[in-house]
Structure 1
Amino acid sequence: MSTQSKFRKLAAISAFAVGAATLASSVSADTWRYAHEEYEGDVQDVFAMKFKEYVEDNSDHSVQVYRFGELGESSDIMEQTLAGILQFVNQSPGFTGSLIPEAQIFFIPYLLPTDMDTVVEFFRESEAINEMFPKLYAEHGLKLLQMYPEGEMVVTADEPITSPADFEGKKIRVMTNPLLSATYNAFGATPTPLPWGEVYGALQTNMINGQENPIFWIESGGLYEVSPNLTFTGHGWFTTAMMANLDFYQGLSEEDQKLVQDGADYAFEKILVHIDGLAEEALEKIKKASDEVTVTRLTEEQIDKFQARAPQVKEKFIEMTGESGKELLSQFEEDLKEVQADK
């Protein structure tokens, strides 16, 4: 299916969301509903299908997976999860940050390194990830089952970006996330929040000049067709999280709670294998599909100019989140130091 066809399809399937939500309440309790933010075959979809595989292979339960657009945008599927219509949701902190401000920590530029081994070890071992975040999510009615990385963030724009000066006057699409807006303000751009369904058209009509996403999503969504200049800025990884409605999870038997957690752990291990080499594969597909694409990898000197602007975003994060954010950031940085010391 072409990229434009995907977006045209959204108009038809959005009408399905209301009907599906009504139908959901009548489905038997052993059919669990799980929605995510990506297309068939993308990282979140692979994770969801591996979770489904584990649950269905190890119990009598079944899992119904809904992909991007089938039940609305990211905000819609979170609302449905909190309302108990959905049992599980996969959503990035880019959107969850409006509900849980501390989740925006992943959008502090140059906080996370970009080499995969360090990133994976951090997600496995981090006290901030595995102990502090679950408590924060529980306060908002969510059981955090797994956080995992999807890929290094890459900027696409109407021309190559090599310095903050190149961002001046450019409208860069961001998720509806205040700290991500602060990042692009710091970088010199004009951050423009847009839901995902509007991004391709906005790039095509020059309503915006660029956006950021992991490279597999740039390929899957066809963003390189309308925003062909790719820049690897080294400023972070795209992170996402699988969650359950907390009341639903707490109402499960101990056996089913273990099934759910084991299924999430199984999917986590499978997704780490899946994303290894995925960025390189996606970039090759993009290069083969278009001769208009340019690829810019910033030098250390060029990165330094962007990195010098990161502290103001860190200060903004603390301002937004208060003492809890300050404690989380401190633990986050300590965890990173421990992981990097072991390398």
Structure 2
Amino acid sequence: MSSLSKFKKVAGFSAFAFAAMTAANSVNAANWRYAHEEYEGDVQDVFAYDFKEYIEDNSDHTIQVYRFGELGESDDIMGQTQSGILQFVNQSPGFTGSTIPEAQIFFIPYLLPTDFDTVVEFFNTSEAINEDFPELYAEEGLELLKMYPEGEMVVTLDEPATSPEDFNNKKIRVMTNPLLSETYEAFGATPTPLPWGEVYGALQTNMIQGQENPIFWIESGGLYEVSPNLIFTGHGWFTTAMMANKDFFDGLPESDQELIRKAADYAYEEIIDHIDGLADEALAKIQEASDEVTVTRLNEEQIQAFRERAPQVEEEFIEMTGESGKELLNQFKEDLKEVQNN
């Protein structure tokens, strides 16, 4: 056989092999669907696109991201994930708490500190976050990939407030979360569960007089336009969780499971950098956009008046969740104590 013939034969085999390999990769490649609860550029959206970037840079898979409202409200996207229509979902324990009662622990006021570095270290090292919660989510058909903080909770009202007495007779919107309702009852307000899509209009028409959210969400959602008095009560951080449908995840090859875990780790590291200083930037935008906004930061004495009402919320949490909730709360406190001591 001539050298040219040999070359053509080898080239032919190489081309065939390449075509076969490409076809195999195309067959194995998948388009995964991921929904979250926020708008373009918000924290969950940034996390989702960091996750998407890692997956698509390191595999033939693609990620389709759906933002708030594109597939419905928070309850809708969780149902779609549990039924397998979506592969990934990002949802706050504020909504997951109706399915996983222990997730409501994040709504016990004054449990989490508000110092950024302490909060981040807690999420990085907490046994409750990184070992206990994955087991609880797995029981509901969810593979918990990451829990992460988004920002300190800020209350907005129709007038400034510095004490629980100022919350009396105020209807404050809460997520559909029994423990969050208990918190605002303890603070003296009338908790009013509403889907997010109805909040702006309800504030505008005085159907409710307030709500709580991280400051970046108050800015991006324009809530300061209809609820201009911002009160920093220091009572907690907004936490969220990114998870997968467990049947989907368990059915993947180990290489894809590892890919997804690495992508979640990458997105987590990126989002921690992203939220550092985000609250100050959002507040500056709000103050630049509106002359009507007031900002009240409670001093330690004022905070203490709210903090004294927190134990009844802890008691309600234990009553709702039983022994498992009590053990989780104890672990939370141990984890926090260790971080604060360090």
TM-score above 0.5 = yes
1:254 partnered with 2:266: no
Amino acid in the other structure paired with 2:314: K
Alignment of 1:230-249 (within 5 A): 230-249=230-249
Alignment of 1:309-324 (within 5 A): 309-324=309-324
Q: CA deviation at 1:29?
A: 6.8
Alignment of 1:123-138 (within 5 A): 123-138=123-138
1:283 partnered with 2:283: yes
Residues 218-238 of structure 1, C-alpha deviation per residue, up to 9 Å, x if partnerless? 000000000000000000000
Residues 181-234 of structure 1, C-alpha deviation per residue, up to 9 Å, x if partnerless? 000000000000000000000000000000000000000000000000000000
Q: Distance in 2 between matches of 1:157 and 1:258?
A: 45
Q: Distance in 2 between matches of 1:56 and 1:295?
A: 42
Q: CA deviation at 1:107?
A: 0.1
Q: Distance in 2 between matches of 1:222 and 1:209?
A: 15
Q: Distance in 1 between matches of 2:258 and 2:266?
A: 12
Structure 1 residue ranges without an equivalent (≥5): 1-27
Greater Cα radius of gyration, structure 1 or 2: 2
| Alignment correspondent of 1:225 | 225
RMSD: 1.0
| Alignment correspondent of 2:39 | 39
Q: CA deviation at 1:161?
A: 1.4
Residues 89-138 of structure 1, C-alpha deviation per residue, up to 9 Å, x if partnerless? 00000000000000000000000000000000000000000000000000
Secondary structure at the counterpart of residue 120 of structure 1: helix
| Alignment correspondent of 1:160 | 160
Alignment of 1:302-313 (within 5 A): 302-313=302-313
Q: Distance in 2 between matches of 1:329 and 1:255?
A: 35
Residues 163-188 of structure 1, C-alpha deviation per residue, up to 9 Å, x if partnerless? 00000000000000000000000000
Q: Distance in 1 between matches of 2:293 and 2:82?
A: 41
Amino acid in the other structure paired with 2:240: T
Alignment of 1:72-83 (within 5 A): 72-83=72-83
Residues 245-278 of structure 1, C-alpha deviation per residue, up to 9 Å, x if partnerless? 0000000000000000000000000000000000
Residues 36-67 of structure 1, C-alpha deviation per residue, up to 9 Å, x if partnerless? 00000000000000000000000000000000
Secondary structure at the counterpart of residue 268 of structure 2: helix
| Alignment correspondent of 2:19 | none
Amino acid in the other structure paired with 1:207: M
Alignment of 1:1-343 (within 5 A): 30-342=30-342
Amino acid in the other structure paired with 1:36: H
Amino acid in the other structure paired with 1:200: Y
Q: Distance in 2 between matches of 1:171 and 1:193?
A: 10
Q: Distance in 2 between matches of 1:214 and 1:161?
A: 18
Amino acid in the other structure paired with 1:334: E
Relative to the length of structure 1, the TM-score reads 0.91
Structure 2 residue ranges without an equivalent (≥5): 1-27
Q: Distance in 1 between matches of 2:251 and 2:116?
A: 37
- Structure 1 outlier segments of 4+, above 6 Å: none
Q: Distance in 2 between matches of 1:29 and 1:160?
A: 54
Aligned residues: 316
Q: Distance in 2 between matches of 1:112 and 1:69?
A: 30
Q: Distance in 2 between matches of 1:38 and 1:29?
A: 28
Q: Any conservation in 1 of the 2:29–2:60 contact (CA below 8 Å)?
A: no
Q: Distance in 2 between matches of 1:210 and 1:275?
A: 24
Identity of aligned residues (%): 81
Amino acid in the other structure paired with 1:193: P
